[in-house]
């Protein structure tokens, strides 16, 4: 899985939001399925960027599951990869070319369907990691021009134990009028974020 990472194009503020504990992961709306990368422009985009402070082999892997149960990513504990989403790509780069001692990966979904996504972070060894989530709504006609709305949030310096898994639930909607929410589940604790589309 290889992609050219896209830079962050905008950001939004986040605030504490309601729990997603009652959210069903596989709620599916009747929306068009993307055909190609051009759908990143018209149907929206969901990017999950993860980082660890090491070079060499990655300390974590990630698997993203969409509302229909399709997956993309790599589980380093069972050494299994998935690429079942129609227009999605992933990449990880742990070569320390810039001498920053960082490992960075991205999972990019073009034309994501609305619903709850599960981002599973899987640790090969005990480490700290960070996740940035960038979302773009579908394009909508606003007067005489076509507009998209963006949001971004960062979850920084999260600790994960060797051979364990942590889940981040992402609720995405193509509708620019709806908020996008995320919830990190850490054991018995959870941390919620609401992304507000500006």
**pLDDT tens-place string over residues 108-145:** 999 999 999 999 999 999 999 999 888 998 888 888 88
pTM of the model: 0.76
Look at residue 187 in the predicted model and tell me its pLDDT. Answer: 55
- Please check whether residue 98 lies inside any domain of the structure: yes
- Please check whether residue 150 lies inside any domain of the structure: yes
Domain count, the chain: 1
- Please check whether residue 39 lies inside any domain of the structure: yes
- Please check whether residue 125 lies inside any domain of the structure: yes
| Dihedral angle sign, alpha carbons of residues 142, 197, 89, 6 | positive
> Domain range spanning residue 124?
14-195
The two three-digit tokens of residue 197, written as one number: 């589309």
- Please check whether residue 27 lies inside any domain of the structure: yes
- Please check whether residue 5 lies inside any domain of the structure: no
Look at residue 155 in the predicted model and tell me its pLDDT. Answer: 84
- Cα–Cα distance between 44 and 41 in angstroms, integer? 6
Look at residue 84 in the predicted model and tell me its pLDDT. Answer: 94
- Please check whether residue 31 lies inside any domain of the structure: yes
Through-space distance between the first and last CA atoms of the chain, rounded to whole angstroms: 32
Q: Which residues contact 120 (CB under 8 A, 6 or more apart)?
A: 62, 63, 64, 65, 73, 75, 165, 166, 167
Look at residue 50 in the predicted model and tell me its pLDDT. Answer: 93
Question: Distances from the Cα of 81 to the Cαs of 53, 77, 99, 171, in angstroms?
Answer: 23, 11, 28, 23
- Please check whether residue 4 lies inside any domain of the structure: no
Residue 168 gets which letter from DSSP?
A: E
Low-confidence ranges of the chain (pLDDT < 70): 1-30, 32-39, 96-99, 179, 186-198
């Amino acid at each position: 899985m290889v992609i050219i990472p896209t830079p962050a194009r905008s950001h939004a503020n986040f605030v504490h939001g309601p729990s997603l504990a009652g959210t069903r992961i596989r709620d599916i709306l009747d929306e068009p399925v993307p055909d190609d990368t051009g759908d990143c422009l018209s149907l929206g985009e969901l990017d999950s960027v993860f980082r660890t402070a090491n070079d060499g082999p990655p300390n974590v892997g990630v698997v993203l599951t969409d509302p229909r149960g399709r997956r993309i990513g790599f589980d380093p504990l069972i050494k299994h990869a998935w690429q079942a989403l129609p227009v999605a790509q992933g990449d990880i780069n742990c070569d320390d070319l810039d001498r920053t001692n960082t490992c960075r990966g991205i999972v990019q979904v073009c034309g994501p369907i609305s619903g709850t996504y599960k981002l599973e972070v899987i640790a090969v060894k005990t480490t700290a990691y960070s996740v940035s989530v960038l979302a773009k709504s579908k394009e909508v006609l606003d007067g005489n021009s076509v507009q998209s709305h963006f949001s971004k949030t960062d979850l920084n310096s999260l600790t994960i134990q060797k051979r364990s898994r942590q889940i981040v639930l992402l609720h995405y909607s193509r509708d620019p009028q709806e908020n996008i929410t995320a919830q990190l589940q850490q054991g018995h604790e959870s941390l919620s974020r609401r992304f507000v589309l500006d």
